[in-house]
């Protein structure tokens, strides 16, 4: 249970970091790239090993890690783009509702139980995410309805597929002593994707690297690595199915992010937001209750 709480805390810290990035004028793309490089270094320090890519490439989970690394970089930057042009609400709802995808995948692929209580909890989780994430000021007029639908759909689908692949790799391939190797591989491919992008932007747009972006990336990278590591450890909790872990993780992030935004940035919580938090707490209770039976 502690590992799940730590995963929620680390993921929420990422959200708060991006809030401060805007305040300090930190270039998001550059910070994201250096964040992934920091993730690789953090993984090496924690595992006390250098990346053994020649050995890892023969492991059954390596292709999954390669795909996840490239996908993480793409989805992360798409979320930043949608946030700037369509609002944080659209991004938050699309990314957090993606929990539905790994839940359905877990039920189909691993025959996990999906009783009435869990169905009710999942429906309440969906409602709570929508209500808690709602910000009236974030809705902008979109002159391109197809674009306004397609980009959030890509975030929803991509995030859900990423979580499903993490869960599949955990269930089918990974051993406990391979968690760090798996994570380092993921972030290595994310780093390569990012560095290639920065090189191309430097060539075609003459875009210099800002020192503050490197600092921001380091601050972002450590909790980013830990959030994935703790999520894998949470999936290993005896008696806890992944169809319960992912909704709890996403609801926890939404609730904690809303609370910290209210405390740190004086963001007002509307009646819809408060209703969403209350519903989320009730849904969490339903999700936790069956685990103890």
- What integer is the mean pLDDT of 156-167? 93
Distance CA 15, CA 261 (A): 9
Task: Please tell me the predicted confidence (pLDDT) of residue 137.
Answer: 60
**DSSP sequence for the chain:** -HHHHHHHHHHHHHHHHHHHHHHHT--HHHHHHHHHHHHHHHHHHHHT----HHHHTTSTTHHHHHHHHHHHHHHHHHHHHHHHHH-HHHHHHHHHGGGHHHHHHHHHHH-----HHHHHHHHHHHHHHHHHH--GGG----S-HHHHHHHHHHHHHHHHHHHHHHHHHHHHT--GGGHHHHHHHHHHHHHHHHHHHHHHHHHHH--PPPHHHHHHHHHHHHHHHHHHHHHHHHHTSTT--HHHHHHHHHHHHHHHHHHHHHHHS-PPP-HHHHHHHHHHHHHHHHHHGGGG-
pLDDT value of position 87: 62
* Least confident residue range of 44-48, 205-209, 233-237: 205-209
Q: Per-residue pLDDT averaged across 92-97, rounded? A: 79
pLDDT at 144 over 60: no
Average pLDDT of span 207-215: 91
pLDDT band at 145 (very low <50, low <70, confident <90, very high): low
Q: What is the mean pLDDT of residues 166-183?
A: 93
Compute CA 144 distance to the chain's CA centroid, rounded to the nearest angstrom.
27
Helix axes 211-235 and 145-172, enclosed angle (nearest 10): 50
The tens digit of pLDDT for each residue in 50-86 reads 999 999 999 999 999 999 999 999 998 888 777 766 6
Q: Percent of the chain scored above 90 by pLDDT? A: 42
Residue range 196-207: mean pLDDT, rounded? 90
Contacts of 203 (CB under 8 A, 6+ apart): none
Q: What percent of the chain has pLDDT over 70?
A: 91
Q: Average pLDDT of 116-142?
A: 75
Q: For all residues of the chain together, what is the average pLDDT?
A: 86
The pLDDT score that the predictor gives to residue 140 is 52
On whether the CB atoms of residues 34 and 214 are closer than 8 A, the answer is yes
The answer on pLDDT for 293 being more than 80 is no
For residues 291 and 244, is the Cβ–Cβ distance under 8 A?
Answer: yes
pLDDT of residue 61: 96
Give the pLDDT of residue 138: 54
pLDDT for residue 59? 96
The alpha carbon of residue 235 and the mean position of all alpha carbons in its chain are separated, in whole angstroms, by 15
- The half-sphere exposure of 265 on its side-chain side, counting CA atoms within 13 A, is 16
Specify the pLDDT at position 199. 93
């Amino acid at each position: 249970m502690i590992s799940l709480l730590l995963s929620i805390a680390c993921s929420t810290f990422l959200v708060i970091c991006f809030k401060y990035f805007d305040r300090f004028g930190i270039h998001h793309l550059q910070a994201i790239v250096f964040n992934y490089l920091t993730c690789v270094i953090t993984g090496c320090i924690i595992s006390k090993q250098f990346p053994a890519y020649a050995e890892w490439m023969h492991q059954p989970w390596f292709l999954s890690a390669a795909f996840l690394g490239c996908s993480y970089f793409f989805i992360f930057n798409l979320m930043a783009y949608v946030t700037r042009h369509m609002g944080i609400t659209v991004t938050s709802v699309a990314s957090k509702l993606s929990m539905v995808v790994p839940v359905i995948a877990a039920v189909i692929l691993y025959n996990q139980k999906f009783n009435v209580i869990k169905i009710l909890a999942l429906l309440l989780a969906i409602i709570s995410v929508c209500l808690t994430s709602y910000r009236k000021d974030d809705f902008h007029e979109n002159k391109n309805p197809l674009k306004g639908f397609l980009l959030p759909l890509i975030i929803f689908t991509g995030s859900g597929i990423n979580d499903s692949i993490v869960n599949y790799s955990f269930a089918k391939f990974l051993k406990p002593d391979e968690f760090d190797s798996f994570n380092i591989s993921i972030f290595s491919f994310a780093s390569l994707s990012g560095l290639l992008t920065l090189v191309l932007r430097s060539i075609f747009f003459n875009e210099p690297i800002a020192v503050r972006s490197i600092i921001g990336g380091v601050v972002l990278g450590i909790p980013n690595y830990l959030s994935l590591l703790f999520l894998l450890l949470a999936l290993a909790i005896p008696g806890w199915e992944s169809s319960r872990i992912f909704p709890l993780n996403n609801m926890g992030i939404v609730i904690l992010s809303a609370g910290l935004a209210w405390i740190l940035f004086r963001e007002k919580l509307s009646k819809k937001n408060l209703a969403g938090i209350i519903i989320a707490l009730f849904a969490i209770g339903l999700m936790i209750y069956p685990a103890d039976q």
